[in-house]
Each structure stands twice: as structure tokens, then as C-alpha cells.
């Protein structure tokens, strides 16, 4: 990595906070993706995504409710709790707004814009693509009547403490394996040479309402440094009442 800093995912939380300035940010994407899509929560409604991510020496639990009151402006306010081996828990908070510049349709493409900030970024920043203040552009392309949808992101992070600017990238694909089963694969990284990847599945327990998912991921640029498994849920009602 640049700047003479070698990232270690077993570092104590105080060092992880410093490491965050070297990792780019974009996206709290639809579970289980890190690469975001050009889609929003249903207009006039809210959704909840929550997940557990397990590393060899730590665990994270996230809960991210999001609402779309106007139809084209989604707000996400939530946070995560991390527990490091031999350490007390730490808390992180995210505030994000996202809109669409072009709505994704079947066999077409969509484009969006997201901006956000992370407060107290001590949770493992690399695999989450977290940072202090960030903006990103998600592009999604639908193929074969939505059987395959490809997502690509480019992003930017401005670290408040150091003033460092970092670029981020990501590309992912969701493949419909069955009406209730979705396969996912993605890779993402930054201009400092960090690259990550994960693959997994999502199962619709109640179609268009409640889904569960599981993934396995690792740091491609140095697999010994970070790997994880995650389990998540999504609750996506069409309306609140």
C-alpha cells in the first residue's frame, strides 16, 4: 500500500480508525452487495437491512434502515457495532442520501448518485469500503429480462483528518438462479492497490418482502490479511401500512 502503511485487519480499533483514511468509500448497497445498484427503496416506503459479518478476530453487526419519502431521494441512517478479540465494542454511524439520474428498467440501464458520511469509522474499513465523507456513482445494466444484472461503481473519499483523497471502484453481478434464488459475485477496491471480492446467495423467503443471504469474502490482494463470512436479512415492504 502507498504512504508506507501496511494494513492489518487484526489491528486494535484505534489503529483501524487511522487506517480508514487510506480506504475509499462508496455504498451501503442492497444486501449482500458492497457495490451499489442504480435502484432505490420503494417510493413512499422504508426498508431495513441488517447483517452479521464474522472475521477471524472480530465480528460486526449492522442495521441500516432506509426511507424514500419523495420517490427519488433515499435516506439511510444506521450504524454498526464491532467486537474485537480482547477489546471492548466500538460503534460506527452512517448517514447517506441517494438519488437516481436514470431509472433502471428491464433490458436497459440506470444511473444514480450517492453521498454520505461515516462517524467514528473504526469498523474494518476495507471490506466495507468505508471512509469519512464520500460520493459515488452507481451504474446498473439489465440483461436477458433481468436474469443477469451488472453493477459498476466509481467513488471518491475525502478524509477529514488528513485531507487525503482516494478513488474507489467496484463491479458486481446478480444472476437469477431460480425465482427465489439469486447468486451474487463482486470485486471492488481502491487506487492504493487494495482489492476485495465476495460471492454468495440471496433467498426470497417471501418474494418482494423478506430475503435472507450469505456470503464469503476475502482480500484478493492479500488473502491472508482478511477474510470473512456474512449473514444478512432484508425487509422491503411496498408500503409502511
What pLDDT digit, counting tens, does each position of 128-154 carry?
Answer: 555 578 999 999 999 999 999 999 999
C-alpha dist (Å) from residue 102 to 39, 142, 144: 9, 13, 19
pLDDT of residue 89: 87
User: SS3 of 184, please?
Assistant: strand
pLDDT of residue 8: 35
Cell 472475521 found at:
55
The pLDDT profile of the chain, 241 residues, written as one tens digit per residue, is: 333 323 333 333 333 333 333 233 444 678 889 999 999 999 999 999 999 999 998 999 999 999 999 999 999 999 999 888 888 888 888 899 999 999 999 999 999 999 998 886 565 565 655 557 899 999 999 999 999 999 999 999 887 767 788 899 999 999 999 999 999 999 999 898 889 999 999 999 999 999 999 999 999 988 777 899 999 999 999 987 6
pLDDT of residue 16: 36
Show the domains of the chain with their CATH numbers: 2-235 (2.40.160.40)
CB 47 within 8 A of CB 236: yes
pLDDT of residue 122: 60
**pLDDT by residue (tens digit) across 62-103?**
999 999 999 999 999 999 998 888 888 888 888 999 999 999
Tell the burial category of 136 from Cβ atoms under 10 Å away from its Cβ (0-12, 13-18, 19+).
buried
Amino acid at each position: 500500500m502507498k504512504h508506507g502503511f501496511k494494513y492489518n485487519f487484526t489491528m486494535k480499533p484505534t489503529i483501524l480508525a487511522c487506517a480508514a483514511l487510506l480506504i475509499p468509500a462508496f455504498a451501503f448497497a442492497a444486501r449482500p452487495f458492497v457495490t451499489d445498484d442504480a435502484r432505490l427503496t420503494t417510493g413512499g416506503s422504508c426498508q431495513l437491512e441488517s447483517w452479521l459479518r464474522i472475521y477471524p478476530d472480530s465480528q460486526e453487526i449492522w442495521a441500516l434502515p432506509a426511507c424514500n419519502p419523495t420517490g427519488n431521494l433515499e435516506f439511510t441512517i444506521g450504524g454498526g457495532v464491532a467486537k474485537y478479540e480482547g477489546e471492548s465494542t466500538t460503534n460506527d454511524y452512517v448517514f447517506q442520501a441517494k438519488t437516481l439520474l436514470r431509472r433502471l428498467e428491464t433490458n436497459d440501464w440506470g444511473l444514480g448518485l450517492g453521498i454520505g458520511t461515516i462517524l467514528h469509522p473504526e469498523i474494518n474499513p476495507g471490506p466495507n469500503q468505508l471512509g469519512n465523507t464520500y460520493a459515488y456513482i452507481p451504474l446498473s445494466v439489465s440483461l436477458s429480462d433481468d436474469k443477469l444484472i451488472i453493477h459498476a461503481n466509481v467513488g471518491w473519499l475525502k478524509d477529514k483528518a488528513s485531507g487525503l483523497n482516494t478513488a474507489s471502484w467496484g463491479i458486481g453481478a446478480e444472476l437469477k438462479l431460480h425465482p427465489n434464488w439469486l447468486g451474487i459475485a463482486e470485486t471492488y477496491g481502491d487506487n492504493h492497490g487494495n482489492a476485495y471480492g465476495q460471492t454468495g446467495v440471496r433467498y426470497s423467503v417471501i418474494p418482494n418482502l423478506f430475503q435472507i443471504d450469505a456470503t464469503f469474502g476475502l482480500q484478493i490482494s492479500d488473502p491472508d490479511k482478511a477474510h470473512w463470512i456474512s449473514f444478512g436479512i432484508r425487509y422491503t415492504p411496498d408500503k409502511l401500512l
